Chain A
Amino acid sequence: MDAFSEELMGFVQKDAQVEASKDPVPEIHLPWLSQHIQRTGSHVQKGTNFAQTTSICLNFIQEALLKHQWQRASEFLQCYLQTLEDINSQKRQMAPEISLQHALYLLHNGMVEDAYRNLNQAESWRYGEMSASQEKLIKLIQAYRGLLDYYTWSKKRTEVSKFDMDGFATNAATHDMHSYFRQASVNLHEIIKIPGVWDTFVKSYVEMLEFYGDQDGARQVLTDYAYDNNFPSNPNAHIYLYKFLKKEKAPEDKLISVLKILHQIVPSHKIMLEFHMLLRKSKKEEHHKLGLEVLLAVLDFSGCTENITAWSYLAKYLKQIMKGKHQEWVQEAWSSRKDWWPTFHFSYYLAKKNWKENRILALKKAFTSGILLGKGCKYFMYVSKQGHKSREKSIKTMKKFVMKHNILDSEER
């Protein structure tokens, strides 16, 4: 029975780290377990030991903070720090983290120099042996310092470009700038090798590389950031690469291949509309087909249901496709949507709502619904009826087109 309770409850104290190496996956740890046991009462020692005191104190602090009783919290915090002072060496190792947080705070408040000093101190902090995590943390601190160097660099750059300085002053400023660039690039280059989300660092680094004409280096950094499998699939990485390539005037095929990957990761991204236009302009027919799918995929998402640009693109493109006798594309793309798009986009409720709130949207959607669902569709019927009442000009042409071209009829044929 003892084994039972052990496996069930684990330990109340957090000294379970000894067992950490035994099993890879520990049992669920419930922080409120100790409460249950304390409530039972009798077997818990009356006199609380040091660990309990500190944890109680910590709880008080937390509670006071959450109730926004700052005064009370700070008083508890003082007690807490006093009790901790000489005992907990583990907590001391957290000093760099605290410094980093403080530096971030200072940065947030615009005190760049203070933050810089703080980061410098944090970097040089040594207490006992450095653990692997601390090593990474130091890298992060260095990266932030690099970012600050980049800020200074960028400030200097604007200064240089803004003011007409004599040759000597320009030279000195440029030299100064370059030294900041070197400091920054070393640190930034280090951090972006480690898997992570480094948007700010990458952007700063690339900007500096571009400034000094190292296009290949910049492209390499961006490509690695986007396509390294150890990194999380960060949509921004693809966007940065795409924007860089676009600025470089890279061939369209290249741009399309970058966005194709992004389309697979985040089909709802707003850049997909740009992608659609890119595909439409392409000469390949498969790109034209993909263009339809990209557009429909954007409209699949709940956040894009009222995106008027997407709807007008779709209306226009459907018209073009139907005229171009590619109904089978529409049918193919429609097959995975026909069981839910009618309720999702083309319900009677939405027809009324859209017509009331945004007529243009309603007209675009009505046109699309007519092509996809035929003239019997509720949405189409409601909007064309309302449009007829209010003598909307486009209604007639819309009706005419839908009568001629819709995928329902073409299916029957």
Chain B
Amino acid sequence: MRKTETEESGIQMDFPDNLFPTFFLPGPPGLSDSPASYLAPAWSDYMQLLKPPQTQDPSINPQHEASYVTKWGRWKSDTPGPLPFLLPGADPWDPELMSQDLLFRGRVKQPARAKATIDVIEQLNHFLWDHGDIAFGPLGMLLQENFNLGETKKSRKNKMVMNTEWLLRDLNGYQPKGCPWAHLSTRQRRFSLLGGTVLGEEVENLLGGLLHEELETRWKRLLLDEASTGGALGWVPGAKPHHGQLVYPTGRAHDQLNFQKVKLSPTKEPQALGDPSHILLRGPVRQVVTRTIQGEALVAVRSDHHCALWRLGHRGPPEPLQVLEMEKEATGISLSPHLPGELAVCTRSGAVCLWSPQHGLRQVHKDPETFVFKDPSSWRWADFTAHPRVLTVADRTGIRLADVRAPSDCGELLFRVGAEASCQRGERVLLAQYLGTPDPLPLSPTLHLVCSQFSLYLLDERLPLVPMLKWNHGLLSPPLLARLLPPPRPEAPLPLLLGGLGGHLRMLHLSGGSDRAPQLAAPPQSLPSLIDSLPGFPVLEPHGQQLLQDRLRAPLTGLAAVVPPRCPSPTMLLFQLSAAGDVFYQRLWLQPDTSSENAGSSSTDHTEDLGLNSHSQTSATSSLGTVSEPSAVSWKPRAVACCRRWLKTLLQVPPTLPSWVPPTFSQHHLRWLKEENKGKVREGLQAAMAEGRLLLQGDLGPLPPSDPPPTHEPFGTEDKLSERLEASWERKGAIWWDSQLDGSRLPRKRQSREKRRTQLSSSFSSIRSTSDFSDVNSPLPHSSKTPSPLHRMSETSQSLELSQELWVKNIPRERRQTLRDYLAVLPSPDSGNCSTPQFQNPSSQSLSTSEPGKCSVPCSQNPRTQTLFSPLPESSSALYSQNPNSQSLYSPEPGFNSLFHSQNSSIQKLPSRHTPTLAGSQPLRKKPRMGF
């Protein structure tokens, strides 16, 4: 436990008896550009003025405290950028949807008023082509009775049945995409005239709205991904002063919670002790909160529809305390700094609850409307205050103090997006954080941090609505992460870190004891982000370089910082977690600033306070653009070696497939398949369907002698040139070379890749299932089950299989065969020009559907899964359903590394890419197209 001076003094809650002058002008944001808005950034610098003249005669050269820089020095890093701390995980990562994917790229009519336009037509076009099964499937089912897909049994005598064979033959495999001059036969003409209106309108009406909604959600999430608010990287200090644990999620779905033991050293780099222990969750980890209170280390985790709490002992695996399941998405969780095991949880329904494993849930606040003005966002946030029974409840428009004991909705506002804080137009609350900790800090325990897109505010809960400090952070990404650290030395200012989702980092230096208003003790600093480490890595082939850049540019989703106690020279360790699951670290030293010593003598110098003099010597030599920073650090061999090691592992990770694969769907090929294959395929599919299992290659007989893609042509083992070419083509040139040098060949890795479930389709169907059917009380398959997010995800991606089963059930017996035939011929292994390498890979459709099932195996078999449920009070029972099913939701299985890893490692040993087992799952890759 750190001891500070304030601890002894007892009272830490003196109110500063002289506040900085400011106007208090109520009103909407940006309405009155109140004078304070200009002064705001400067506030803190002049706080010292507040000393009354009796105690400090201003006419005498004031004994203002030496500036931070001269007194404490500067935080300096020993590397120009953060270094990798842990090796990259086995899962590949590719950047999520980017603005380029959504925005209109055509010419803009009014260039002066350039604005983002989402290219809906193009998106819709892609959607119809890529996901015809979803778009046209239902219609296809309706029309199915009247069309003959080539089955012999279907009576031709029936006048109501149209033979599609001719229709398709007319199309001749062409896809007249958008071509109005394509030749049309009479049959085609008739079909399009009769069916066109139905097909067109239905699709337009139904899909248009849904797609519009989906794009809107996507775009909003792209601009502001609020799910990761608070950060998913936690630090738990250990029993010994230089030990601790990092808690963070990894895995493609961010569903694997890791506990990595770390040893800090006062002089050397931090060390990861052994492999992390895992817990596999059934949902993505969005936020990790850690807190050590009364000797008890607690970890709280927020997933989309679950929150969970663990206790960390000094030995043994984390002990699960309780899991909470919520119907609406959870948006925030925080651990009480006062009472062990007490949490505040909030959801999109507008409800905020106090939750503790002992006492269950207690609703503190519920209001779907926002506080100050109407804002569509349903984001809510809750944190604690200096009073253990008072919470802060935040939405985008303001923050309210809510007393747990009082009836809800009657707390006063702590912060309001308005003229009082000189907010701008369109400003919103993005993060609200209580800065108090269980250990007393030399800062008043009543301070709250509020971040908007533009500014950072510090508020004292004893003087609501009037910010004690305001600073324009200038971050070009949403500031969703903030960490306050203890002072590196007694009486030194406290570092406050602010992290933007885009990786931008700022460090502020807060000073001010309990009886002084908080102030900035030094000019804020920007810290390097992951992408600043790029020069530390060796230059790669363009492929590899892109991969590396993407990886380093991944959004910053977690931030943890440690000031190791009792270090001879004060240091700070900064851990960063990216969305790719990479943990980087950087060490900062508080070093005495030698360059500003000369300037210290002349106190009248204007520039001295800001340290402007510090580089006066260099001014003569340096010119604009080629400024040589005297404080700039260079890449040391040790750091470069660290980056190189990390990169080597990264390049061994199999690349992901692009999330979007152009369709090469050809009716012609599918329909008129070779007869001998057809029979086997049909039998195999039938057997698989009957047993309800995955379709394997074995079911379909031997692979057809398809033309292997030219790049994969084996030229014999001795052909080193082509091997090398091939390796470098796959961005593994360096590895190949290394392996040649070592004399030991690395086994060629053939990973079972999963084609990413095309996101559009999944979310699309998820929208359909939630928004459309939730009103109707129809028993949907997913609503009866536990709606764990991953579960839901799997179900949506399972839509193919589900719908297949449904078809089999719903359609007449005599027609099933037709359908099976049709399905069986769909994913022909030799279909068309499948020379593109992607096609050799197993499809995500089948794998990703089976994956959750597999994952659940260790969960359900694990006898140690114990998720305790406490009786819930009636008031909140409507909100949080008490579901006994969720017992297997979180499986605390530290020994879990079995499935994914073993799977991967075994796959890595596979020698050839023409692996039958892998290709076996191919037939399900393509979804049946029932519409034409």
Instruction: Tell me the A residues contacting B by CB distance below 8 Å.
Output: 1-2, 4-6, 8-13, 15-16, 20, 24-33, 35-37, 39-45, 62-63, 65-72, 74-76, 94, 97, 100-101, 104-105, 107-112, 131-134, 136-137, 140, 143, 150-151, 154-155, 191, 194-201, 203, 230-236, 239, 265-266, 268-270, 300-304, 306-309, 336, 339-340, 343-344, 347, 349-350
Residues of A within 8 A of B474 (CB): 62, 66
- A68 B117 Cβ-Cβ under 8 A: no
List 9 tightest A-B contacts by C-beta distance, closest first: A29-B426, A66-B526, A36-B99, A97-B38, A303-B13, A137-B35, A303-B12, A110-B62, A349-B294
B854 contacts partner chain A, Cβ-Cβ < 8 Å: no
A191 to B21 Cα, complex, angstroms:
10
Judging by beta carbons under 8 Å apart, are B386 and A302 in contact?
yes
Q: Is B864 interfacial (CB-CB < 8 Å)? A: no
Interfacial residues of chain B within 316-344, with CB under 8 A of chain A in the complex: 337-340
Contacts of B610 in A (CB 8 A): 70
Q: Identify the stretch in B24-32, B709-717, B807-815, B821-829 within 8 Å (CB) of chain A at 4 or more residues.
A: B24-32
- A302 and B105 CA atoms in complex are apart in Å by 56
Q: How far is the CB of A352 from chain B (nearest CB, A)?
A: 9
Chain A residues contacting B622 (CB-CB under 8 Å) are 71
Query: Would you give the shortest CB distance from B28 to chain A, in whole angstroms?
Result: 6
Q: Does A43 contact B114, Cβ atoms closer than 8 Å?
A: yes
User: For this complex, into which size category does the number of interface residues on chain B fall?
Assistant: 35 or more
CB of A235 within 8 A of CB of B462, answer yes
Let me know if A309 and B10 touch, CB within 8 A: yes
Asked if A101 meets B39 with Cβ closer than 8 Å, knowing A9-B115, A29-B426, A111-B604, the reply is yes
B388–A340 CB distance below 8 A: yes
Tell me which residues across on chain A come within 8 A of B64, comparing CB atoms: 108-110
Bitwise interface map of B from 464 to 498 toward A, beta carbon under 8 Å scored 1, else 0: 11100000001011100000000000000000000
Contacts of B425 in A (CB 8 A): 16, 20, 26, 29
B52 at the interface (CB under 8 A from A): yes
Which of B32, B115, B624 sits near A75, CB closer than 8 Å?
Answer: B624
Distance A14 CA – B104 CA, assembled complex (angstroms): 21
Chain A residues within an 8 Å CB radius of B477: 32
The number of inter-chain residue pairs (CB within 8 angstroms) is: 332
A37 pairs with B99, CB closer than 8 A: yes
- Is the pair B427, A29 in contact by a Cβ cutoff of 8 Å? yes
In the complex, chain A residues whose CB is within 8 Å of the CB of B62: 108-110
Answer whether residue B183 sits at the interface, using C-beta atoms and an 8 A cutoff. no
Residues of A close to B624: CB separation below 8 A: 72, 75-76
B7 to chain A, nearest CB (A): 7
> Which listed residue, B19, B222, B373, touches A24 by the CB 8 Å rule?
B373
Asked if residues B99 and A24 are in contact (CB atoms below 8 Å), the reply is no
Identify which of B42-50, B670-678, B840-848 touches chain A: B42-50
Residue of B nearest to A58 (CB): B474
Contact B614 A10 (CB under 8 A): no
- Give the distance to chain B from A246, nearest Cβ to Cβ, in Å: 15
Cβ 8 A contact of A31, one of B12, B99, B476: B476
Which residues does chain B contribute within 8 Å of A140, judged by CB atoms?
Answer: 21, 23, 35
Q: Which residues of B contact A70 (CB under 8 A)?
A: 607, 610-615
Set of chain B residues within 8 Å of A235, measured between Cβ atoms? 15, 462-463
> In the bound complex, what is the Cα–Cα distance between A10 and B24 (angstroms)?
30
**Is the CB–CB distance between A194 and B114 below 8 Å?**
no
The reply to whether the CB of B912 lies closer than 8 angstroms to some CB of chain A is: no
- Can you give 21 contacting A-B residue pairs, CB < 8 Å? A5-B104, A10-B426, A28-B375, A37-B99, A45-B111, A62-B474, A66-B525, A69-B627, A70-B615, A75-B624, A104-B45, A136-B23, A151-B53, A195-B24, A197-B21, A235-B15, A266-B462, A300-B388, A302-B436, A303-B13, A339-B359
Cβ contact within 8 Å between B436 and A25: no
Q: Are A301 and B52 in contact (CB under 8 A)?
A: no
Q: Which residues of B contact A33 (CB under 8 A)?
A: 116, 223
How many angstroms from the CA of A236 to the CA of B460 in the assembled complex?
Answer: 13
Q: Is the pair B59, A112 in contact by a Cβ cutoff of 8 Å?
A: yes
B96-112: which have CB < 8 Å to A? 98-100, 103-108, 111-112
Could you tell me the dominant secondary structure of chain B's interface residues? Answer: loop
Q: A196-B24, A197-B20, A340-B389 are in contact. Are A71 and B49 (CB under 8 A)?
A: no
A30→B618 CA distance, assembly (Å): 38
Contacting pair A71 B386 (CB below 8 A): no
Residues of B within 8 A of A136 (CB): 23, 34-35
- Is the beta-carbon distance between A195 and B23 smaller than 8 angstroms? yes
List the one stretch of B81-89, B133-141, B212-220 in contact with chain A.
B212-220
**Contact between B11 and A304, CB atoms less than 8 A apart:** yes
B375 & A25 in contact (Cβ 8 Å cutoff): yes
Smallest distance from the beta carbon of A208 to chain B beta carbons, Å? 12
Is the C-beta of B920 less than 8 angstroms from some C-beta in chain A? Answer: no
A136 to B118, CA, bound (A): 44
Q: Contact: B627 with A71, CB < 8 Å?
A: yes
A190 CA / B798 CA spacing, docked (Å): 72
Task: State whether the Cβ of B719 lies closer than 8 Å to any Cβ in chain A.
Answer: no
Write out the residue numbers on chain A whose beta carbons fall within 8 Å of the beta carbon of B465.
232
CB–CB A199/B426 < 8 A: no
Q: Which residues of B contact A268 (CB under 8 A)?
A: 13, 386-387, 446, 462
* Assembled-state Cα–Cα distance A59/B492 (Å): 30
Q: B608-632 CB contact bits vs A (8 Å, 1 = yes)? A: 0111111100110010100101010
CA distance A108 to B34 in the complex (A): 23
Closest B residue to A134 by beta carbon equals B35
Contact partners of A134 in chain B: CB under 8 A: 35
Query: Quick check: B224 and A301 within 8 Å, CB to CB?
Result: no
CB distance from A368 to the nearest CB of B (A): 16
- Assess whether B113 is interfacial by the CB under 8 Å rule: yes
Q: Are B100 and A31 within 8 A (Cβ)? A: no
**Given that A12-B116, A33-B223, A37-B99 are contacting pairs, would A232 and B426 also be in contact in the complex, using a CB cutoff of 8 Å?**
no
A358 to chain B, nearest CB (A): 8
| A4 with B424, Cβ < 8 A, contacts A110-B59, A197-B20 known | no
* Contact for A112 among B24, B58, B373, B607, CB less than 8 A: B58
Q: Does B502 contact A (CB under 8 A)?
A: yes
A6 adjacent to B28 (CB under 8 Å) = no
* Residues of A close to B74: CB separation below 8 A: 68
B132 contacts partner chain A, Cβ-Cβ < 8 Å: no
Q: Are B21 and A36 in touch, CB under 8 angstroms?
A: no
> 1/0 contact trace for B578-620 toward A, CB 8 Å?
0000000000000000000000000110110111111100110
